[in-house]
């Protein structure tokens, strides 16, 4: 299955038996892509995990009334 990288439009060949939630890497720009949907196949760049959680806990800490 031929797809293109959502970040750089580089053509990516995907196994048709790929599962939702699997990740792959664009060999052109190096971005990590997650399969967010398989019918039709949709790819989305993987965000850095944990960053948002860290930010939220920091805000909670400041709420010291
Ligand atoms: Zn790319």
Give the pTM.
0.68
The verdict on residue 57 lying in a domain is: no
Give residue 50 CA to ligand 1 midpoint distance, Å: 23
Give residue 52 CA to ligand 1 midpoint distance, Å: 24
Assigned token pair, 13? 């060949």
DSSP state of 19: -
Give residue 21 CA to ligand 1 midpoint distance, Å: 18
Assigned token pair, 23? 């990740």
Structural domain boundaries enclosing 37 = 2-45
Give residue 61 CA to ligand 1 midpoint distance, Å: 38
Give residue 17 CA to ligand 1 midpoint distance, Å: 21
Tokens 């939630």 correspond to what residue?
21
The verdict on residue 55 lying in a domain is: no
pLDDT above 90: residue 61: no
Q: What is the CATH number of the domain that holds 15?
A: 2.20.28.160
Query: Which pLDDT tens digit goes with each residue over 6-50?
Result: 999 999 999 989 999 999 999 999 999 999 999 999 999 997 666
Domain count, the chain: 1
């Amino acid at each position: 299955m031929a797809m293109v990288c959502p970040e750089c439009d580089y053509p990516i060949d995907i196994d048709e038996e790929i599962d939702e939630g699997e990740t792959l890497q664009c060999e052109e720009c190096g971005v990590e892509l997650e399969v967010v949907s398989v019918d039709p196949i949709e790819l989305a760049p993987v965000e850095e995990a944990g960053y948002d959680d860290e930010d939220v806990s920091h805000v909670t800490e400041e709420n010291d009334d």
